[in-house]
Chains A and B, each alone.
Chain A
Amino acid sequence: MISTAVKKTFRYLSSFALIVSLNFALPRLMPGDPVKNLIGEDVYVSDLVIEELRAELGLNRPLLEQFLAYIQALLRFDLGYSYHLHSPVAEVLQERIGWTLLFVGVSVGLGAGLGVFLGAYAGWKPETKLSRGLSCGFILLSCTPPYFLALLFLGIFAFKLGLFPFKGFYDTLTLGSIASHLFLPVSVLALFSASRNFLILRGSVIQEKEELYALYARAKGLYEREILFRHVVKNASLPIITLLALDFGFLFSGALFIEIVFSLNGMGTLIYDAIIGKDYPVLQGAFLLIALAVLIANILADFLYAVVDPRVRRPA
């Protein structure tokens, strides 16, 4: 028991170390002068300033020293300075990530709920017209890139029908305003996430309902849907935990595109602007943060399995 915990911790720590090292190495492996890259091509600075900056960033020192300095900075939550935004990267990220996490969190939650519920129904009664229709619809959705769906929704519901605002997280910082602004982007991401959960759960329920415990639940006197919701769904939902963890990075990147379409000032637009403006410190910081988020999602999934599936843990 203790040894597996140690093993797991070691595994997570080593992936974290790998992420950090990659994050250190990538900008240094890129072609061109890192200092020029750091400042960006659209900003003019004299050679003297560049040399000063090089010394200040320690880029003229040996690689190992640079690495140690980088780690030290990380420990102080210092992710560098964005010359484009004229503020420390950590501050910029802190400001943006909250919104994106709200957006992604609500969407993934809704998507999981919707996907599990409808997927369970479709797997329980796969022959009905409704569940065939649902399956077709969700397969279509899962094949559609989220940014395309976002454009479609924006075109139909915001421009044509005028039901929702076009852009931004809010006009005034009230719950109503945030909700109406987030409705479309959340719907798009939730539907996309639901489509993936739906397909997994449908297959999973089709498989699980043939298990003997489902028949025994019937023999105990449970009636139809009670068997599904009291016995089958929990077993069938276990793969969803893995899917959510694995999908987190994927959904996150989808969210970034959706943010750009809806002009939401979250991580997506930040990264987009950073790419356009070659703002490497911001990109580096964003990469680290997202990688960390995916890592945490995986740790949570690991932990969650031990809680919900007794086969993963041993008796106390």
Chain B
Amino acid sequence: MNSLLDVKKLKVGFEGAKPVNVISEVSFSIQKGENLALVGESGCGKSIIAHAILRLLAPEARIEGSILFKGRELLKLSEKEMAKLRGNELAIIFQNASHALNPVYSIGRQLAEPLRIHQKSGKTDATKKVLKALAQLGFSSPEKYLKFYPSWGSGGMNQRFLIASSTILEPELLIADEPSKGLDPARIKEVERELWVLGKEAKSSLLLISHDLGFVRRLADKIAVLYSGEIVELAKTSVFFKQPRHPYSQGLLGSLPENGFVPIPGLAPALCESPSGCRFHPRCPFQKEKCLREHPELKAREERAVRCFLWA
């Protein structure tokens, strides 16, 4: 079966005075209609993977490996071919909505833009669709917002404007980078419902990036846990939450309020200086001598893959 998105051995580094590797050999795939969540602490490389898929990284980024989208190698496409996919079949919701929207153009114009770029829609036609999209995201009188500007609204409103803009063409794959960040619980519910509806009605797949595990649990079919630029555990959501296998995954779940609020000791390493051996060993309660020297492989067994010597 052909996957919608197939990421193989993705490596991302940045050139500079001191070249750094930030993502090492990340592989995962998303089937049509399936939702995958990438979870992990801030600074573990989640957003970099998202931006690498859309080829939005700065020119000094080096990307290796392969990213197949509907069988096409995205890393080999020209910028022009990439532009045709972006916003159309492959869309992203950025973290910081208030900055992602252009301050000097109206919401109506910005939401209509994907329609005008990719479908060459006329003005009235585009406006109709924009109004529908706004209504779907819970704006009760959408006409009011056509001539509205990002600086006039709250962060939560802008987040919903951004979601409307990214989903207006019903992309086959939507990458949502922390869509629940900075929203109050009622708004999170709305965002969650909208993403869910998109998956059910438009058969969109979702690559969800979040550290809100509750949000992830309700939306994702599969979970990939990222630590220091590599996947340490990949499993079905139900399986993962029942019994996480990697010590880091266990730590993540243990730090949830409902599980006792126990923080993982230590700090996440910076992406440019990952520890030797197993990257998690300095913070791992089960570390052995071997973990300091050898780097464990991601080993698949019984519906899940774990990168830990305890699992092997």
Binding site for B on A (CB under 8 A): 211-213, 215-224, 231, 234-235, 238, 308-311, 314-315
- What are 30 A-B pairs with beta-carbon distances under 8 A? A211-B99, A213-B99, A213-B101, A215-B56, A215-B94, A216-B100, A216-B101, A218-B56, A219-B54, A219-B56, A219-B92, A219-B94, A219-B166, A220-B86, A220-B117, A221-B87, A223-B83, A231-B105, A234-B104, A234-B105, A235-B102, A308-B104, A309-B103, A310-B106, A310-B151, A311-B103, A311-B104, A311-B149, A314-B152, A315-B149
Q: Number of B interface residues, CB 8 Å?
A: 33
- The closest CB in chain A to the CB of B150 belongs to A310
Q: Given the complex, which residues of A lie within 8 Å of B85, measured CB to CB?
A: 221
**Contact A310 B113, beta carbon cutoff 8 Å:** no
**Contact B83 A221, beta carbon cutoff 8 Å:** yes
Q: Given the complex, which residues of B lie within 8 Å of A218, measured CB to CB?
A: 56, 83, 86
Known: A213-B103, A219-B91, A235-B104. A310 touches B83 (CB 8 A): no
Count: A-B pairs, CB below 8 Å: 78
A113–B96 alpha-carbon span in the complex (Å): 33
Most buried by B among A211, A217, A309: A217
Find residues 130-160 in chain B having any chain A CB closer than 8 Å to their own CB.
148-149, 151-152
Find residues 100-139 in chain B having any chain A CB closer than 8 Å to their own CB.
100-106, 113-114, 117-118
The 4 closest A-B pairs by CB, nearest first: A310-B149, A221-B87, A220-B87, A212-B99
**Contact A213 B152, beta carbon cutoff 8 Å:** no
A310–B101 alpha-carbon span in the complex (Å): 13
- The closest CB in chain B to the CB of A310 belongs to B149
Cβ of B80 under 8 Å from chain A? yes
A212–B51 alpha-carbon span in the complex (Å): 12
Knowing that A213-B101, A308-B104, A310-B103 are A-B contacts, what are 19 other residue pairs whose CB atoms are under 8 Å apart, sorted by A's residue number?
A212-B99, A213-B99, A216-B100, A216-B101, A220-B91, A220-B114, A220-B117, A220-B165, A221-B85, A221-B87, A222-B113, A222-B117, A223-B80, A234-B105, A235-B103, A238-B104, A310-B151, A310-B152, A311-B104
**Chain B proximity of A242: nearest CB distance (Å):** 15
**Chain B proximity of A201: nearest CB distance (Å):** 15
**Contact B104 A212, beta carbon cutoff 8 Å:** no
Q: Given the complex, which residues of B lie within 8 Å of A222, measured CB to CB?
A: 83, 113, 117
Q: Given the complex, which residues of A lie within 8 Å of B86, measured CB to CB?
A: 218-221
Q: Given the complex, which residues of B lie within 8 Å of A235, measured CB to CB?
A: 102-104
Q: Given the complex, which residues of B lie within 8 Å of A224, measured CB to CB?
A: 79
- The closest CB in chain B to the CB of A315 belongs to B152
- The closest CB in chain B to the CB of A316 belongs to B147
Which among A216, A238, A315 is the interface contact of B148 at CB below 8 angstroms? A315
Q: Given the complex, which residues of A lie within 8 Å of B91, measured CB to CB?
A: 219-220
Known: A211-B99, A235-B104. A223 touches B79 (CB 8 A): yes
**Chain A proximity of B167: nearest CB distance (Å):** 12
Q: Given the complex, which residues of A lie within 8 Å of B87, measured CB to CB?
A: 219-221
A222–B88 alpha-carbon span in the complex (Å): 11
**Contact B151 A311, beta carbon cutoff 8 Å:** yes
Most buried by A among B85, B91, B96, B117: B117
**Contact B100 A213, beta carbon cutoff 8 Å:** yes
Known: A213-B99, A213-B102, A310-B151. A221 touches B88 (CB 8 A): yes
- The closest CB in chain B to the CB of A220 belongs to B87
Q: Given the complex, which residues of A lie within 8 Å of B103, measured CB to CB?
A: 213, 235, 309-311
Cβ of B84 under 8 Å from chain A? yes
Most buried by B among A211, A220, A224, A311: A220
- The closest CB in chain B to the CB of A212 belongs to B99
**Chain B proximity of A219: nearest CB distance (Å):** 5
A219–B87 alpha-carbon span in the complex (Å): 6
A231–B103 alpha-carbon span in the complex (Å): 10
